[in-house]
Structures are given as structure tokens and as C-alpha cells.
A and B are shown apart, each in its own frame.
Chain A
């Protein structure tokens, strides 16, 4: 099926001062090849791609081949602070990213535990406060803790990115009720489920909770066919959003026939 064969109405939305159509934020890591990454990102129609910074050796050109591919895609770049374990490291990485990538957007990621890569709420909060004052648009990766979300909002975050489950685990939404509570408490914030998405139905579930978008990487890059999976997630995110906007029916305790009962032939009537 070609992309254009399925025409869906997908409303524009706004995040970080940009108006976008796609609600997918796609990662650029772990693909079988750079060409596969490029094709998957194109197929996803995502308008935001996450990138990172790492040490560059002299003379080798570093990650510039990668960066050339990303630049060619002509979509918004969201640098991350992956690998940082303190506010100080994250702030420095964000400042370096702003210079290299030419954007004030930063996916703030401060890891507090190496086992499950759980974000450190205290260091994340400290870094968020400094970065917002320094003019950054902070996309903080956080847990699904409501109070942490509140504190991040208090220091000026307009976007929150609670996890579905640990990074790269593919476990989906561990705690939908916590995610739901954050959505309910912060209707004005842009909420993105970041991390833990494993399959398209996880994205549908998150979007049906009223989340504004999904950030994912491993679920696409580690699929048997990343390009096809990129397409699957594109439609899943649209389906989940449309489902949320349309408003789902109330669950009922008992069966109710959908076909009219008036005029039912006699042989179908119960006595």
C-alpha cells in the first residue's frame, strides 16, 4: 500500500513555536544502515528527528556524513543530552548542541540509574530551570510521576515527555493511569510519550489518552523492516489521535444490539 492511498484528516498542531502536521518524533539511532535510517525517517513523515553529540576524532570527519543526511531531510532537529548524569553535564551538552545544530530545542535527558536508565528528577529539574532561563525550549524526558511533572511545569517547561517504560525496552505503557493523570492535570502543556514504545498499538494507546505526540526510536529501528514499521507507526499515531478527538463510546456492562430490534423476524425473537 502506498502512503497516498490512505487519505486521513490530520490536524496541524504546535510545539516549540513550530506548526507541524506529524505527531511523531523519530530517533536516528540503531538502524541497520544510514540509508535505511534515511528511508525510514522519510516514510514516517515525522517532522522532528532526534540527534546527539559525541566525541569527534581529528581528521575522520566525525559524524558529518550522518549530519549531512539529516540536513538533507530538511526537518526539525531535536538534539538530546543522552548519557548525561548531572545537571551540569546536561547544560553544557545543551549549549554545545545549540551551537552545532543551530536550534534552541533540547531533549533534556539526565539519567539517574544505569540499570533502567530512569531519569533523575532532581538533576533534570535543576537543568531545566537553567536552560529555560538561557532561552532553550526544553523537552524534558521524565518519569510518569505527577509531582515531578508539576515541578517541571513550575520552572517553565511547556513540554513534558514522560516515559511509557524504560528506554529501548519496548514494554509499551507500564502505567497508563499515571500518564492519564498527567494529561488531566496539564491540559495546557504539550505532552509526548517518550521511551518504551514497542509496537504500533502502544502508540495508539498513548495517543488515545490525549497525548500530543510520540517519541520513538528502537521500535522502528530494531523492527525486522524499519521502513515498513515507520509507516505502521505513522498510521498508528494518526489513528490514536483521531480516536481521541472523536471521543470513544462509554463502556457498558451488557450487550446492546446495534441492529434495530423493530421488525425483527419472528424466528429471532426470544420468549
Chain B
């Protein structure tokens, strides 16, 4: 197991997960979000080839109200 930060919360996840597997493991059910790892955007096309490493900071963002 490795430790990562997901939206500010520390979580333990299995090693060698890619972004697609991480999203499934975290049970994100809805679409319409975007992912950044260590403040770098990860496009959908790169989900499967991007492996999560110990200590990574993952942000999963969705639409909200804004000015």
C-alpha cells in the first residue's frame, strides 16, 4: 500500500494503480471532473498510462459556481 493525498485527504491505496483504476477505487461515480497530480493536469487520454506514486497529491475537480 502507498499513501497519497486526494483532494486534501490522506488515503492508502494499492501500489501501481493508474489514474483510471484510482478513480474506480475511490468510487467516483459521476463524470465531468478533471484530474491533476502534483499540480500537473492529467488529461483523460493519459489516465491509463499514468501511475500513481507514493506521496502524490491528487486533485479531482468538478464544476461549481464562479464569478
Contact = CB atoms under 8 A, between A and B. Distances in A.
Nearest to B66: A52
A30 B64 contact: no
Interface string A68-99: 00100000000110100000110011011101
Contact of A55 (B41, B44, B59): B59
What 3 pairs between A and B have smallest CB-CB spacing?
A: A52-B66, A217-B67, A62-B62
13 contacts: A27-B66, A37-B65, A51-B63, A53-B34, A54-B61, A55-B62, A56-B28, A62-B33, A63-B62, A66-B63, A79-B66, A95-B43, A100-B33
Contact of A89 (B29, B39, B44, B65): B39
Given A88-B39, A92-B36, A99-B43, A59 B29 contact: yes
A208 interface: no
Interface in A199-233: 217-218
Contacts of B43: 95, 99
Contact of B67 (A59, A82, A92): A82
Greatest chain B CB density within 10 A among A56, A66, A80, A95 is at: A56
A64 B66 contact: no
Given A56-B33, A58-B28, A92 B65 contact: no
Interface residues of B, number: 26
B65 A55 contact: no
B66 A56 contact: no
A30 B65 contact: yes
A153 interface: no
B36 A96 contact: yes
A220 B36 CA distance: 33
A61 interface: yes
A168 B63 CA distance: 21
B63 A167 contact: no
A66 B64 contact: yes
Given A53-B34, A97-B34, A99-B34, A58 B27 contact: yes
